[in-house]
Amino acid sequence: MKNITITKAEQSKLSELDFDNIPLGKIFTDHMFICDYEDGEWQNPRIEPIKEIGTHPATMALHYGQAIFEGMKATLDSNGIPLLFRPDKNAARLNFSADRMGMPSFPEDLFAEGLKKLVKLESSWIPPQEGSAMYLRPFMYADEHFIGMRAATSYKFIIICSPAGPYFSERIKLFAEKKYIRAATGGTGEAKAAGNYAAAIKPTENAKAKGYNQVLWLDAFEHKYIQEVGTMNIFFKIAGEIITPFRDGNILDGITRMSVIDLLRDKGFEVTERPITIDEVKEASENGSLEEAFGTGTAIGIAYIQEIGTDEGTIHVSDESPVAEDVNDTLNSIKIGTIEDKFSWMVPAE
């Protein structure tokens, strides 16, 4: 593995951070990890002061959208040790996305090493309050300057860090979208590609204008099978069974999703990954068997769903989410080391 060089910022901006009032996604730490892909290999991995990355107007990512990203969080345990949650899963998913988008894979050992060194260097930026974390954003984009439709020959892989305060989740409202779609079989739905999010912005703004928080995506052909939510995977509890849409190539392989499935099964719940339609959820709401609905994602954690708007009316969900709350508590406790990490998910950034 290539040696990672570290150049430290002359002056830290940490003293400007108000740990009790951290605006989401707006504050960035002093350093970033950056690595260049040139001549068929990843070169010059380095940690350096965060700065603007020069953008030539012909930068290919701007034109053809070869851009992928990951979302992760670093937390502190009670001894102040920074912990990463299942970083191997993010490294693998980044490379899955890279493959789908015709981009080079990034060495997983270098991903782990770069991430650990960066998080260790920036550990004093991790907010200590329960529920807080330092959000980590690894991403890769085509930075060759070229007009023409082909895979780029040069790329950048970068990790930036952004402290995030505790997320007090209000129950959220979703709108089941039937006009626009997120993913169709053979497309890029399973990749964490920037373009998937770009195409979601207009429908999301439309949903927000109607008073909803996020879009609930349905399948591309019949507009009835539930896929996922704007920034989350989704779970339902219906008559005791916990159901989440199965991975048919159209939904993101969420790391919180897979962890919640493991935790729920460990707690003795039956969890089924299977196709589920919006009509099944509506019927369950009407006959009283829809017990809970919740979303899972790195940024948001676990979000309790209050209602789902459809063109035909509103699907109401119970006001209480005991199972989702319990699994949320367990997940958060694992992340700060206050309960046993029996799945060995946490990796110290040391």
Binding segment for ligand COI (CB under 6 A), chosen from 77-85, 206-214, 291-299, 314-322, is 291-299
Q: Which is nearer to ligand COI, 68 or 276 (CB)?
A: 68
Going by C-alpha positions, the residue among 211, 174, 191 that lies closest to residue 310 is 174
On the CB side of 278, CA atoms within 13 Å amount to 26
> CB count, 10 Å around CB of 4?
17
Residue 190 Cβ, how far from ligand COI at the closest point, in Å?
14
Binding segment for ligand COI (CB under 6 A), chosen from 242-250, 268-276, 297-305, 331-339, is 297-305
Is 127 among the residues that bind ligand COI (CB under 6 A)?
no
Q: Which is nearer to ligand COI, 310 or 332 (CB)?
A: 332
CA 242 to chain CA mean position, Å: 22
Binding segment for ligand COI (CB under 6 A), chosen from 40-48, 155-163, 284-292, 296-304, is 296-304
Which residue of 297, 304, 310, 317 would you call a contact of ligand COI, by CB under 6 A? 297
Is 28 among the residues that bind ligand COI (CB under 6 A)?
no
> CB count, 10 Å around CB of 18?
9
Binding segment for ligand COI (CB under 6 A), chosen from 5-13, 113-121, 295-303, 313-321, is 295-303
Give the containing element (helix H, strand E) for 307.
strand 301-310
Whose CB is nearest to ligand COI?
71
Distance CA 186, CA 298 (A): 25
Cβ atoms of residues 298 and 232 within 8 Å? no
Question: Interface residues for ligand COI in 229-248 (CB under 6 A)?
Answer: 231
> CB count, 10 Å around CB of 132?
19
Q: Which is nearer to ligand COI, 47 or 300 (CB)?
A: 300
Cβ atoms of residues 8 and 118 within 8 Å? no
Residue 300 Cβ, how far from ligand COI at the closest point, in Å?
6
Going by C-alpha positions, the residue among 116, 139, 127 that lies closest to residue 163 is 127
Q: Which is nearer to ligand COI, 46 or 82 (CB)?
A: 82
**Structural tokens at position 74:** 């670093």
Is 174 among the residues that bind ligand COI (CB under 6 A)?
no
Is 197 among the residues that bind ligand COI (CB under 6 A)?
yes
Going by C-alpha positions, the residue among 191, 195, 41, 189 that lies closest to residue 106 is 41
Residue 299 Cβ, how far from ligand COI at the closest point, in Å?
3
Q: Which is nearer to ligand COI, 290 or 347 (CB)?
A: 347
Describe the crossing of helices 255-266 and 87-100 by its angle, rounded to 10 degrees. 130
Question: Interface residues for ligand COI in 57-116 (CB under 6 A)?
Answer: 71
Question: Interface residues for ligand COI in 299-328 (CB under 6 A)?
Answer: 299-300
Cβ atoms of residues 287 and 318 within 8 Å? no
Q: Which is nearer to ligand COI, 122 or 291 (CB)?
A: 122
Q: Which is nearer to ligand COI, 284 or 305 (CB)?
A: 305
Task: Tell me the sheet residues that pair with 217.
Answer: 177
**Structural tokens at position 114:** 């770069």
CA 87 to chain CA mean position, Å: 12
Distance CA 312, CA 314 (A): 7
Binding segment for ligand COI (CB under 6 A), chosen from 12-20, 235-243, 258-266, 298-306, is 298-306
Q: Which residues of the shown chain bind ligand COI in the complex (CB under 6 A)?
A: 71, 197, 231, 297-300
